Structure 1
Amino acid sequence: MKASNKLKIFNDPIYGFITIPNSLIFDLIEHKYFQRLRRISQMGLSYLVYPGAHHTRFHHAIGCMHLMQKAVNVLRFKDVTVSEDEEKALYIAILLHDIGHGPFSHAMEHSIVNGISHEEISRRFMQKLNTEFNGSLTLAIQIFEGNYNRPFLCELISSQFDMDRADYLKRDSFYTGVAEGNINSERLITMLNVVDDTLVVEEKGIYSVEKFLVARRFMYWQVYLHKTGLVAEQLLMRVLKRAKELSNSGIDLKASDALSYFLKNEITAKNFDDLTLETFSRLDDTDVMAAMKEWQYHDDFVLSHLCKMIINRDLLKIKLKNKPIKSSTLDKHIQRLIETYHISEKEAKYFVFINEISNQAYQSKIQKIKILQKSGKVVDITKASDQFSIKALSKPVTKYYICYPKE
């Protein structure tokens, strides 16, 4: 076989040229497990709201790695010791942190696999790759799991301000065209430091942190929890749920071998073995989209109508409320659907349902963003900031919604 050039660069629309730091990272990017991320959309069906949101998990992972390179350079400049092994492990961990995402990112977790998160599937992919690459991912897995004895390295991967959030806010803002979500991730990284082996932000970066939290809140309400996006994701979950239900009753649905495997088998954390992992690695957005294009002509009323709604963007109506939806309102819409289409209550509930969403831009009780004051004292952002809104952002806000067919 022809030898590969391992000194390639990516031209990224957000950061410009991104370099690959070492040959191991190159080989991981080249691996089929990672290449699959080119076919997994970063924002699921959000392109039905924001037409530009067609970027992938591949884009995001490469961007995160680039920001991690900047973070390591900044910390070393400030005399924080990061060994070569730790540096390599950080790049691997952040590169592979989302490798366990299924088709359309989050919809899979709530429909055809049960009790296993994308983080757990990511960990299993990393373990499999660790075997293939002769144990060279061992330290990366430790950091990814949060088990390494230097907490700040784990915080760079997963915390209230990590390289994951630093990239996806900026990237999703760019591709959706929602300018309010744009953050100065490079400046934030420049303000990073380490005190007592934990990550801190220097006091002069406090306004950038405030902007980051406000941008995060805005992106959740305006983009990630946009009501049309919510309906689309709920419909997709119901498509997969109905397809699984029909498959389990003996009805053969046209689908790829990989998708059929998950439709015909009850997959949980306990039986998610190597065969399941390998089959999962063959699954991406195209499997689900191609299946829905076929299923829209199926005899089953529920499956065909759900698929048509997504493919033709003729979605359910959604109403958001600040208080829980009354059960009488739900029953009224269910009854109307039963009478109109002469379907069962169980079938009607695929089209009429209630749910709730919650947004908390800053989860101070789980993990804090620490500000390093000029005096050397380290305090939580809510105490360091003179903005009342930052304290408000640490309170969860819950909204309730009902979905039902348009008149």
Structure 2
Amino acid sequence: MGGANHSKPPFYSSASASNNNNRKSRWENNSNTKSPSNPNTKPNPNPNPNPSPRHPPPPPSLGPPPPPAYGFHMLERRTIILADGTVRSYLALPPDYQDFPPPPPPHGRFDYHRNPPPHHHIEGPGKRKFGGGEEEDYNNNNNNNNGSEFRSNKQLRVDNKVDQDALKKAFLHFAKLINENVTLKNTYLTHRNQGRLRCLACTRSVTEFPDIHTLLMHTYNSDNADLRVDHLGLHKAVCVLMGWNYSKPPDNSKSYQFLSADEAAANQDDLIMWPPLVIIHNTNTGKSRDGRMEGYGNKIMDSRIRELGFMGGKSKSLYGRDGHLGITLIKYAGDQSGLKEATQLAEHFEKENRGRKDWARLQTQTLGKDEENNPNLVKLDETKGEKRRILYGYLGTVFDLDKVDFDTRKKVVIEIKREYKRSV
């Protein structure tokens, strides 16, 4: 009995070695590894890393979890204006989100970025402007003094964060841009309550609005820090064009649209062309034999202005496809003396009841009538015994850009008359 017990270990050991575990499972072979007759236990320089089935092998290291493809810190605030004029904020991916570096490849498994680890943000070069602290600032209701980007535009204006020189430049730029384009100008004036009005300050995308009130709400409450000055300049330019109060914030009550006619006219007359010029109307004399319109030339107009007692200006008569347009520009030097001479000539016509308002009223009364027999347009010169045209004139402003020729329109700039007088 004793000999039989000592003969089995070498038999099973040799069978295991020769059959390469074909008859017995892995667990059964490992159960007899304590037998000293197993020749593979001692000479093996690399022992079995899993000597016991009770200790399974540890899973391979997967490394740190991959960073999320997107995060709250990558979002930026935007605004949308609803049909009722109210403004709502929302968060969206920036336009350049595709330029962010992709996350590192996963280690031995697929990663669909469905469950990114919580509280894990990119700290490398892909980190955006505000980093992970933006979420904290947002949840703190903007109480952090360093979170200036989360302040409302009204707060920024109260704190005088808007560069006034840059705002003035943007205002004059948009005032000229709107008024030198007849189609664009008429779109604002005639489609104030309907139509598709485009925001000229949104350079990166085409933004359109159903009416002018919604457009002004957008320009005044723009959250784009890079284009805030441009939006405020456009807001002021449109308000002056419409004759509204640009200093009052637009809201649903639309109280900013109520401004006296005198104040609205003062705001419009304050934006003059520079170098200053006076626009003279009714300088045409009739049609020639070939049907083209004739009128006073430059020398004749210089002589007539001198007869009125004014010097220093140079005349430029305007012509079109059909001949003389009946308009002559009296241009002056771009300095204080030139502005003074131009203002004096314009005031002369105003005192004679032949200024801007008088000419506009006359156009509605004499449209389509015989001009040669109209005493408001033609009078008899008793000294020379001939008929002479009655001149009407006023100081050229930004709203008269559509009346001047192309060369003058491109060369002039827009200045604020009251500020120029104050600075000189």
Normalised-by-shorter TM-score class: under 0.3
Which has the greater radius of gyration? Answer: 2
Q: Which has the higher helix share?
A: 1
Q: Which has the higher contact order (CA 8 A, sep 6+)?
A: 1
- TM-score w.r.t. structure 2 length? 0.25
- TM-score w.r.t. structure 1 length? 0.26
